[in-house]
Amino acid sequence: MSDSENDNPPCKVVSKVTFYKPSSASNGAKSKKSGAKKAMKKDLKTKEFEYEFEASDENYYAFLKVILDKHGVTGYRVGKGSVYAMKMQVPPANKGDACDVEDLAEYRECVTSKITDKMFSKAVTVYVDINDVKTALKKVSSDEDGLTPQERELARYRGLLADKYKNDRDGTLTYTDPTTGENVPLTIAMQKEWARAMYDAKATVDDPPNTAPFDAVNRRVRIKQSAPASSSGSSNASGTGLDVAAQAFGAISSVMATFGSIINPKANQPRPVTPTPSSHAQNDLQLHDNHPNSPMQNTPTKLRRFLAYAEKVYGAQDVSDHRYALEAEGYGPDILQDIPNEDLKKLGINSGNVIRLKRAAPAWWSIEKLQPKKRAFDDAFGGDDAGGDDAGGDDRGAQKRRKLSIQFEKRWFDPKVTNPGPGNDGLLGSARMNGSGFTEGRLRDDVDFQWYYFSDEVQAVVPIPPGFVPILDDGDSGIDDEGQFPNEQ
């Protein structure tokens, strides 16, 4: 059984939090009296989400945090000795019979007696008064953040780096290498290392430290070269591609097993159908589970864009609501496959979305790795802000921008072949063409072809991940003809 399968399936939860705001209909005479309290009126906010209830302290604290996160209430510490009161209306009880839950013991009693091993057709409704939250919880201030003087100083240095190197367009940090003159993305790990070097007086905000991550030679070894592929054997992704992939990844047997099925698509690739996550989930995991070898590292904007992708393509509803919780733990699409399911559930992500995120991560990460420079995702993938600020009076950024060149292959398959295999893969023909990137889109149900691209990562022609279609060099976005169309916003 997988981690996602347990005795308590996710319950639908409706959280109702009462806020207060000044009343516009205050009595004028009373409001003018000195010392009179300003009239306030209730403002009830309602949010819906799914949650797996367990009679444990971790589950209790996580539930309290999820409610606050869903309603945008920040700045309060939830944990042992710092909880707030709520009412839990568990079906079929009426509101008047809701349980008063003021501490861990009452939460355990409510979950054990009313929720565990039960199925509900209606949602569990939770009532919270924001005044109870403010009264019960500690406001987290800079003086109570639990940081040592050294940690505060390191945080200050990271702030200086952010002020100097932050890209106003997308929030990422990029510095110019003093040796090569190239723009280099500053990962979170690099920011911490630079700040530490500044603390030790071994670097300044203008001069990076002389350590391995900042060494141009070391970095160049790790950066994947994104040159156009022109091998005559690239379209025949069989034994030759396997040998190349083996040389590229050495003797790491687990990685080789991951790529075994994509390097020989004739033997393993089923006849193309509508590229939905359900029909391609297994191929996605086999194709793209190579992030440990990725030369890229996670950045804050990658998480935001990945969550948006998972919502649109894989149906992981409202996962963007957990962005800040994921950031706080340092989680990103590059390591999502390695994070235990239970750790993700503790952040309030339901079991279904945990599975969807893990399926989406390798597919999205593979596409992201095709981009050679910072923010190339927006430029190559037709993002709304592609060209944004650079397109204004200064076009120097556009002149310096490296144009992507990707070799695509369109393969037509015989719809009569329903069980493709060696010697009978149903392939009718193919055509090669070059393009500059990808855009979000999908294939219609009635098409008989599938898009592939040449991957520098495995030196083979592999399927384009679900949710994307190519942008071709002839100016055709590839989304308005021949069965392709963009995803609806």
Render pLDDT for 385-423 as a digit per residue (tens, 0 to 9): 433 343 344 444 444 444 567 888 888 877 777 666 556
Whether residues 45 and 130 share a domain: the answer is yes
Whether residues 117 and 54 share a domain: the answer is yes
Whether residues 24 and 49 share a domain: the answer is yes
Whether residues 29 and 128 share a domain: the answer is yes
**66 falls within a domain:** yes
Whether residues 89 and 109 share a domain: the answer is yes
- Tell me the per-residue pLDDT of 2-51, one tens digit each, with 9 for 90 and over: 444 445 678 999 999 999 988 765 454 444 454 555 678 889 999 999 99
Q: Which domain holds residue 17?
A: 11-139
Band of the pLDDT at 440, cuts 50, 70, 90?
Answer: confident
What is the structure's pLDDT at 74?
84
**442 falls within a domain:** no
**Long-range contacts (CB closer than 8 Å, 24 or more residues apart) made by 255-259:** 255/290, 255/292, 255/293, 258/286, 258/289, 258/290, 259/286, 259/287, 259/290, 259/458, 259/460
Find, among 447, 439, 438, the residue nearest to 486 by Cα: 439
Residue 280, Cβ density class (10 Å: 0-12 exposed, 13-18 middle, ≥19 buried)? buried
**193 falls within a domain:** yes
Band of the pLDDT at 476, cuts 50, 70, 90?
Answer: low
**107 falls within a domain:** yes
**253 falls within a domain:** no
Whether residues 28 and 91 share a domain: the answer is yes
Whether residues 97 and 208 share a domain: the answer is no
Q: Taking 90 as the threshold, does the pLDDT of residue 104 lie above it?
A: yes
**230 falls within a domain:** no
Band of the pLDDT at 235, cuts 50, 70, 90?
Answer: very low
What mean pLDDT comes out for the span 209-217?
Answer: 81
Whether residues 85 and 181 share a domain: the answer is no
**44 falls within a domain:** yes
Q: Taking 90 as the threshold, does the pLDDT of residue 282 lie above it?
A: no
Residue bearing the bigger pLDDT, 86 or 4: 86
8 A C-beta contact, residue 477 and residue 437: no
Band of the pLDDT at 169, cuts 50, 70, 90?
Answer: low
Least confident of 66-75, 238-247, 326-335, 400-409: 238-247
What mean pLDDT comes out for the span 358-373?
Answer: 74
What is the count of structural domains for the chain?
A: 2
**311 falls within a domain:** no
Band of the pLDDT at 455, cuts 50, 70, 90?
Answer: confident
CA distance 366 to 457: 9
8 A C-beta contact, residue 265 and residue 290: no
Whether residues 29 and 59 share a domain: the answer is yes
Final residue of a structural domain among 222, 254, 274: 222
CA distance 70 to 87: 17
Whether residues 164 and 203 share a domain: the answer is yes
Count CB atoms within 10 A of the CB of residue 134.
Answer: 12
Whether residues 27 and 62 share a domain: the answer is yes
Classified as helix, coil or strand, 59 is: helix
Rg (CA), the chain: 27
Final residue of a structural domain among 108, 139, 170: 139
Whether residues 132 and 90 share a domain: the answer is yes
